[in-house]
Structure 1
Amino acid sequence: MTTVSAASAEALTVERPAHRDGNVLRWLGAYTASMVGDNVYYLALAWAAVRAGSPAQAGLVMAVSALPRALLMLGGGVVADRLGPRRVVIGSDVVRCAAVLGVAALLWLAGPGLWPLAVLALLFGAVDAVFMPAVGALPARVTSRGQLARVQGMRGLAIRFASVVGAPLGGLGVALGGAAAAFGIAGLLIAVSVPLLVSVRVGELPPDETAGDSTAWRDLVGGLRYIRHHRVLAPLMLAIALGDLGFTGPLNVGLALLADQRGWGASGMGWVLAGFSTGAGAVSLLLTVRGRLPRAGSLAGCSIFAGSATVGALAFVPNVLGAAGVAVLVGLLTGLSGALCGALLQTQSEPAYLGRVTAVAGLVSLGLAPLGMPLSAAAIGAWGTGPVFVASAAVCALGGVVALAAPALRRAELPH
């Protein structure tokens, strides 16, 4: 494992933009391979579960990973801060690769079964609880603070690429050799990330004099206390929570119900989702090229607020073309707010706390926000799409109000 001092790491990256830095590009290659592998894995898991059991059983297998991820996420942040994010990411990818390839071999030899799939999903969720905070904490260790916004843009592009490439690649694997082949492809893609990560140079943090002989529990409590008393991070977490809570329901469950009611069909819903991805991808590209946007705190708050209006407007667009156009605006504005919030989390946090900060942000997005999906579905059944989309937009807008009402967050800037 290659490490350099924090000062040396800064010197290595400050002279060139992140998208021209070989160290960052190796990290990006590893991250992209891992994300594409994840997308292939989820498609393979869904296909294998449907073939092995009833629809209800398949849904249960798909949902199994959410529980350990939610329960263990905060502890995963402590692990990432204690052991170092790169070491945790490498270990997590090794475990995920071995588990996926093991199930691929089992399916190839013995055929589909629900129990191996459920165990794999459970293990994947548990490892994700450690993997995700470490992934969020790693960029600050491979580049300078002034390049973190650009890295957020590059990471966004990698996520969009993985979502576009992963599903067709998984479908090709299923077509050629069934779920076992798709799992094999997923495992090999995750395996590609390991040697790339081993070659990445990471900055070494200064000793944490406050840590002493503290236990993991004290580290966890200390991280939560650090966020609660931070003038920027505390309101930022609340803004992220409200924004995601108002956004997740309409864009996941609500959009499918809206497309069904309007008679757009699956293809129409696909066009709307494509519009959203186009807008979000354009913002990621902008940040990758520009590297920094001024007045990041106020811009994040304004984009959350404006994005809420576009979320509400989706319910009142009568045709697919108009809905796809509105979805482009949704992607632009929510993509901008998400990227800026992520960059502010990276730059405002002390590096020693970054794993725990990322864990809390991940728990808010993956634990709290999905609760809005069944609520949105039930509310749409009772009151229709229009009122529910408007109510969700109002919740999302509160996130923008919180961001703009907190002076320290409103004045927060990204480093040069």
Structure 2
Amino acid sequence: MRSYIRDLGLLRDTRFTLLLAARTISVLGSAFAPVALAFGVLGLPGATASTLSVVLTAESLPMVLFMLVGGVVADRFPRQRVMMAGELVNSVAFFALAAMMFTGWTPLWAMATAAAFSGIAMAVLFPALTGIIPEVVPADRLQTGNALLGLGANTSRVAGAVLSGIVVTLVGGAWALAVSGLMFGVAGVLIAMLRLPPHRQEAGERHSVLRDLKEGWKEFSSRQWLWVVVAQFSVMVMALQAAHGVLGPLLAKEHLGGPGAWSMVLAGEAVGTLVGVFVALRFRPRRPILAATLLCFPSALPYLLLGVSAPLWMVIAGAFVLGICFDVFGVLWQTTLQREVPPEALSRVSSYDALGSLMFGPLGLLLAGRLAVLVDARSAMVVCAAVVVVSTAAALLSPGVRNLRAPAFPAK
């Protein structure tokens, strides 16, 4: 208990508390956004699933396309200002969507444009966040800082999933979009209140964006543990997207009693992520990437249980374990990234990390439906579990993954 109290002492740091509050409120806005956007668009006269698909694609595609550029921007300019700009652009985009729905002027091109600006803002925010944490948190407390930021983010995701549905039901999608815009705006103001040392740029030739990207790639590719685990996750996320996005809801509808059962599975995972924060606060392995990679094996559990027709309570328990493992993995991964990569390249490396990890996700969604038709949904779910296990085992073949050691800090 004394150790946890010492960890929570980081909350006495005003700068960290501001960053934590901004991140928590921003994630709450992001958790509101999907439900608000989906029901706001679908509630428009004449809107169809295709209308929603166009708007969502307009948001997600720029996020992928601009992720690497976002890393360059966050390494070139003060990350505080980059984050503030990203939050405020997100705020304007969602207020614009809300205004369109309030006024009834909702041309598809205008909604898609606003959504695209939100996607660009997210592409800038993520690399800047990864880079700004070591500027705020001392090196020996990075894991604690990442865990506490994870606690705020996970709490917001759980709360947002519940509250967004209530707000949409009571007052409609337009008001929910406005709430999202307000939260992003508040997050931007809190980031602006951070007091960080002046940004120092290295003297000399100003590089082109392409040169910066090449240097970021050099930092990324020179670390075996880094590119191996990102390659592992590019395959794993493909399986996770198939299982979570298509196969899980399909099995819940056909065999578990409908959407209520799938909501319970997702709730079990969400609770696991909250518990995982407290595990991550005190779990300090000497070989963090080895430990993080081993934690990927249990994440196959809920998919395997769904595939072998296990009772619902067992699937929920498996999802709870997945939530714990993924949260601890995330904290160990972020902390190691921030310790091992030079600060001046950290945002670019994190953008390569995000892009590589997520690039096959849409393919998983596409293949899931075909696989369910070719075999059946249960067998397809077992395939997803097998992909998780095999990709994780393959990553463990890397000496870099097995042998990277965490720095030793003096006990306090």
Is 1:318 aligned to residue 307 of structure 2?
no
Is 1:295 aligned to residue 287 of structure 2?
yes
Task: Using the aligned pairs only, state the percent identity.
Answer: 26
Q: Deviations over 1:343-397 (max 9, x none)?
A: 2222221111111111112212333223212212221221113332232223222
Q: Give the 3 Å change call, closer, same or farther, for CA 30–379 of structure 1 in structure 2.
A: same
Is 1:347 aligned to residue 362 of structure 2?
no
CA deviation after TM superposition for structure 1 residue 273, in Å:
0.9
1:246 to 226, 239, 244: 239
Is 1:185 aligned to residue 179 of structure 2?
yes
CA deviation after TM superposition for structure 1 residue 310, in Å:
4.8
Is 1:229 aligned to residue 231 of structure 2?
no
Residue 45 of structure 1 corresponds to 37
Preserved contact between residue 239 and residue 403 of structure 1 (Cα < 8 Å) = yes
* Structure 2 SS opposite 1:340: helix
Q: Which amino acid aligns with 1:169?
A: L
Counterpart CA distance in 2 for 1:213 and 1:223 is 15
Q: Give the 3 Å change call, closer, same or farther, for CA 249–208 of structure 1 in structure 2.
A: farther
1:362 to 343, 354, 373: 354
Counterpart CA distance in 1 for 2:404 and 2:310 is 39
Figure out how many residues of one structure are paired with residues of the other and give that number.
Answer: 401
Residue 260 of structure 1 corresponds to 253
* Structure 2 SS opposite 1:212: coil
Residue 49 of structure 2 corresponds to 55
Please report the TM-score for the alignment, with normalisation by the length of structure 1: 0.88
* Alignment gaps of 5+ in structure 1: 1-13
Residue 145 of structure 2 corresponds to 151
Residue 87 of structure 1 corresponds to 81
Dislocated runs of 4+, deviation >4 Å:
14-17, 203-209
2:296 to 290, 297, 304: 304
Counterpart CA distance in 2 for 1:387 and 1:301 is 25
Counterpart CA distance in 2 for 1:194 and 1:327 is 34
Preserved contact between residue 238 and residue 402 of structure 1 (Cα < 8 Å) = no
Q: How does 1:1-400 map to 2 (within 5 A)?
A: 17-52=9-44, 53-110=47-104, 112-202=106-196, 208=202, 212-288=205-281, 290=282, 292-400=284-392
* Structure 2 SS opposite 1:43: helix
Preserved contact between residue 7 and residue 144 of structure 2 (Cα < 8 Å) = no
* Alignment gaps of 5+ in structure 2: 1-5
Q: Deviations over 1:304-338 (max 9, x none)?
A: 13333553333214321121112112222233223
Counterpart CA distance in 2 for 1:16 and 1:154 is 8
CA deviation after TM superposition for structure 1 residue 91, in Å:
0.7
Q: Which amino acid aligns with 2:233?
A: I
Counterpart CA distance in 1 for 2:7 and 2:39 is 47
Counterpart CA distance in 1 for 2:307 and 2:256 is 13
* Structure 1 SS opposite 2:43: helix
1:407 to 391, 396, 399: 399
Preserved contact between residue 248 and residue 262 of structure 2 (Cα < 8 Å) = yes
Counterpart CA distance in 1 for 2:264 and 2:171 is 30
Q: Which amino acid aligns with 1:76?
A: G
Counterpart CA distance in 2 for 1:182 and 1:220 is 38
CA deviation after TM superposition for structure 1 residue 243, in Å:
3.0
Counterpart CA distance in 1 for 2:323 and 2:331 is 11
Counterpart CA distance in 2 for 1:358 and 1:133 is 6
Q: Which amino acid aligns with 2:274?
A: G
Preserved contact between residue 142 and residue 200 of structure 1 (Cα < 8 Å) = no
Q: Deviations over 1:163-198 (max 9, x none)?
A: 222234333433444322112211111111122112
Q: Give the 3 Å change call, closer, same or farther, for CA 396–19 of structure 1 in structure 2.
A: farther
Q: Give the 3 Å change call, closer, same or farther, for CA 16–66 of structure 1 in structure 2.
A: closer
Report the RMSD for the aligned CA atoms in angstroms: 2.4
Q: Give the 3 Å change call, closer, same or farther, for CA 205–96 of structure 1 in structure 2.
A: closer
CA deviation after TM superposition for structure 1 residue 128, in Å:
1.6
Counterpart CA distance in 1 for 2:37 and 2:153 is 19
CA deviation after TM superposition for structure 1 residue 71, in Å:
1.2
Q: Deviations over 1:104-157 (max 9, x none)?
A: 233223355534322221211122221221122221211122222222222322
Residue 7 of structure 1 corresponds to none
Q: Give the 3 Å change call, closer, same or farther, for CA 91–391 of structure 1 in structure 2.
A: same
Deviates more, 1:200-209 or 1:78-87: 200-209
Please report the TM-score for the alignment, with normalisation by the length of structure 2: 0.89
Q: Which amino acid aligns with 2:389?
A: A
Q: Give the 3 Å change call, closer, same or farther, for CA 15–96 of structure 1 in structure 2.
A: closer
Counterpart CA distance in 2 for 1:151 and 1:240 is 24
Counterpart CA distance in 1 for 2:277 and 2:7 is 22
Preserved contact between residue 156 and residue 284 of structure 1 (Cα < 8 Å) = yes
Q: Which amino acid aligns with 1:34?
A: S
Q: Give the 3 Å change call, closer, same or farther, for CA 339–243 of structure 1 in structure 2.
A: farther
Deviates more, 1:236-245 or 1:213-222: 236-245
Q: Give the 3 Å change call, closer, same or farther, for CA 130–321 of structure 1 in structure 2.
A: same
Q: Which amino acid aligns with 1:230?
A: R
Preserved contact between residue 86 and residue 125 of structure 2 (Cα < 8 Å) = yes
